[in-house]
Structure 1
């Protein structure tokens, strides 16, 4: 059954009930996951989940339910369950469904040819990736995990206020973990890439970056504790931004769980930093024409020249603050109701190369990896994590270092940014260019 048929069947049931409002979301998808090991298929998974979910509004309560069965009896039970949920929820006058608004035209979301690409070619992509990694450097001894994945999704959202939004999208991805060994030491390098179209996925680029990360840290030594200038490569900068990301969500702000609460209009980070969430960004992992409620995705500037301009909203949180939704309701799948999230959150690209960012540093550190950044406190912004990277001497990378730790506060760290790189890259739905920090406390293991 197509998403349009599923939707119409459920809409007919909801219109027969005395409701204050309703929403139907129907989705069908095809998912493929392949892992290879030593040029053989290790795992091969293919699924085609289909389902429908509803939200119903009754007397201020919002109820949710879903069904993966399209049998009439199961759909009727789904409606009954949603009504029970609405009756047991604490009423909130701000619960509502959005009105229809024009959707952005985002080309390139769907690869018409993906379905016709032979599965042997998709497996071949993963095998090619493994071959390229093993052939790139004699110090690479093995590949821990090499995978290819794809998804094809069709979704439609209809609500009682006239929203009727639908899209089709495809995505392909590949990832690899390379293990390099030398003189009894081993290091792992991981990388991945993502594209909407099969032919746009470059496994050569993935292999090159994974191998570079693995072999680059071979021979790493410990250093003494120091306070020094630092350059965060784009991966580390992204990891740190990801901790801050939840602070931009209006839900966190309204619940008193954001370190950015009450700071609208204030200078919160270096004037060199601008941050935006762009749900319309071409090629972005979080790019779609509309969010989990059918609200158009948009390009929202959150920080301009270091100053906080505002937050991200879904319909409920926007009504609480008397503003418009920014299209930031997301769904984890058909089995969960929409919740707040970001689309493609990133620090805007600068104009300085990585070499120029390091120039003028007589002794400092280039951080290329952090361990345990997820343990940072998203409410206070405080963090203390392990790290690895390279010593910078006289403006140049000289030797790899390991066993170091960095600690501080995310906003303080971003306030001390004195240079922004021109190498913006996304790691999932969060991205950043490299950043130069004026001073950072680096705890060594060689005191």
Structure 2
């Protein structure tokens, strides 16, 4: 009998003793080792084992109570069930969460590698060498203030009193490097890279190193640019950051709460250029942390969101799906309330373009590599953004780093102003996406 089956058996017995007929439990456990270094010495070494279990109980009036615990032995489960039952009598009576209609549907099969954990001393040695190699790579690179190498094992499960039982486990390794420069009479410049993999052996540490050096050095010979309207090309990371910042556009809970740029009637309407298609695909092979079920036990899937510019689906939990006469989509997290969040974006070309664009022959085009200050520069309810960025002014393939600038606009107008979606995608930790060309955006520079 597996540990999850044992938990299910204990929970069923204790629920019967307490007179509880309906309950569910979601839990996760993370065993993680992470290290950071600074100036040739270990800066932080952290090893942790974290577990979190959410217990929900429905009373005879179908009100729901929720509690959390870290104990999954008999005493802990019994106390959690009892506490949740007591809390249920103070629960809401409108739009009460229920079991997902797909909590017992077959799960997708996902291939993933399982890596053996390395001792923290090995991680420190690898990171110390990376720091020294970065400092030796160019005389202008004088510091690696932010870095990290981590490995973790994740176990998740979901079960309910209706017989649903899910469990999965995976391992993840990650590396992060960020360098800064010092040059006489020049402002400090920086660059970084982040890579993830299932195992430390398959982690692209060399790629992270090379990308960090290249990005840092590409910003050394910076120049100011005048303010004005520019044709803008977003890197995959930058465009995915904007998609995440405005996810209320297709989040059903935000829509029902009237905290969205969309309404329930937005489905089927053109919200973007027909060149753009977008799906949320937790099962994409590029998604290292792929999960096969969400917090309600609903299987994850490849969900089309925008097809050739038309909004075709919202992200749903069981609660929003019931209210909007839809199906849950595998994007729910349970807690004091049920929340919804995207899994893994997949941006790709919709209709074929009538005109091709290339940085090799473009004039006066801004390539945005990374947008910053999303927490302060985005008004997700109005659709507006004003964000500082790292990037280059490109002329006939030649890139000159921009000293400092801010890009501003309206997100819905940006989607409709897409003039080209490149056909070469790039896999990133948050999604897969090619470079996206925008006809015109306001850029404020330092001239």
Output the TM-score relative to the length of structure 2: 0.90
> Whole-Å Cα distance in 2 between the matches of residues 370 and 25 of structure 1?
35
1:421 alignment counterpart: 422
CA distance in 1, matches of 2:324, 2:224: 50
Which of 88, 91, 104 is residue 100 of structure 1 equivalent to? 104
Is 1:339 the counterpart of 2:339 in the alignment? Answer: yes
- 1:263-278 matched pairs, under 5 angstroms: 263-278=266-281
Secondary structure at the residue paired with 1:310? coil
Q: Map 1:10-89 to 2 at 5 A.
A: 10-19=11-20, 21-58=22-59, 59-70=61-72, 72-89=74-91
8 Å contact kept, 1:30–1:49: yes
CA–CA separation in structure 2 for the residues paired with 1:381 and 1:357: 29
Q: Is the 8 A contact 2:15 2:21 kept in 1?
A: no
The reply on whether 1:154 has 2:155 as its aligned counterpart is: yes
Residue 81 of structure 1 aligns to a residue in which SS? helix
Q: Distance in 2 between matches of 1:294 and 1:189?
A: 40
Judge conservation of contact 1:34–1:41 (CA < 8 Å) in 2: yes
1:12 aligned counterpart, secondary structure = helix
Q: What's the counterpart of residue 364 of structure 2?
A: 363
1:19 and 1:132 map into 2 onto residues whose CA distance is 60
Q: Distance in 2 between matches of 1:426 and 1:62?
A: 41
Residue in structure 2 matched with residue 312 of structure 1 by the alignment: 315
Question: Cα offset for 1:423?
Answer: 4.5
Query: Bigger shift: 2-11 or 229-238?
Result: 2-11
Residue matched to 2:384:
382
More off after superposition, 412-421 vs 359-368: 359-368
Identify the residue that residue 238 of structure 1 maps to in structure 2: 240
| Equivalent runs, 1:208-287 vs 2, <5 Å | 208-261=210-263, 262-287=265-290
Distance 1:377 1:175 in 2: 29
Counterpart secondary structure, 1:131: helix
**Map of 1:206 onto structure 2:** 208
Give the structure 2 partner of residue 288 of structure 1: 291
| Deviation larger for 78-87 or 290-299 | 78-87
Structure 2 unaligned regions, length at least 5: none
Flag the 1:27–1:387 CA change in 2: closer, same or farther, 3 A: closer
Q: Give me the whole-angstrom Cα distance separating, in 1, the residues matched to 2:108 and 2:126.
A: 33
Q: 1:149 to 1:326 in 2, by over 3 A?
A: same
Larger mean Cα displacement after TM superposition, 12-21 or 173-182: 12-21
Determine the structure 2 residue equivalent to 1:172: 173
Rounded to whole Å, the distance in 2 between the matches of 1:216 and 1:203 is: 20
Distance change in 2, residues 1:52/1:438 (3 Å): closer
Q: Which runs of 5+ in 1 are unaligned?
A: none
| RMSD (Å), alpha carbons | 2.4
* Aligned: 1:139 with 2:177: no
Residue in 2 that maps onto 1:436: 437
Q: Structure 1's 349 and 38: CA in aligned 2 closer, same or farther, altered over 3 A?
A: farther
Say if 2:33 and 2:120, in contact at 8 Å, map to a contact too. no
- Counterpart of 2:78 in 1: which secondary structure? helix
Tell me the equivalent position of 1:300. Answer: 303
Question: Secondary structure of 1:267's match?
Answer: coil
Report the CA distance between 1:3 and its aligned residue.
4.1
Q: Distance in 1 between matches of 2:413 and 2:422?
A: 19
Cα distance change on mapping 1:73 and 1:228 into 2, 3 Å: closer
In structure 1, distance between residues paired with 2:52 and 2:225: 55
How many residue pairs end up in the alignment? Answer: 437
Per the normalisation by structure 1, the TM-score is: 0.90
Partners of 1:192 and 1:185 in 2: CA distance: 24
1:332-382 C-alpha deviation (Å, 9 max, x unpaired): xxx776521111023226999xx9532443223222232323331112211
Q: Structure 1 residue 217: deviation in Å?
A: 1.5
Cα distance, 1:265–1:318 mapped onto 2, change above 3 Å:
same
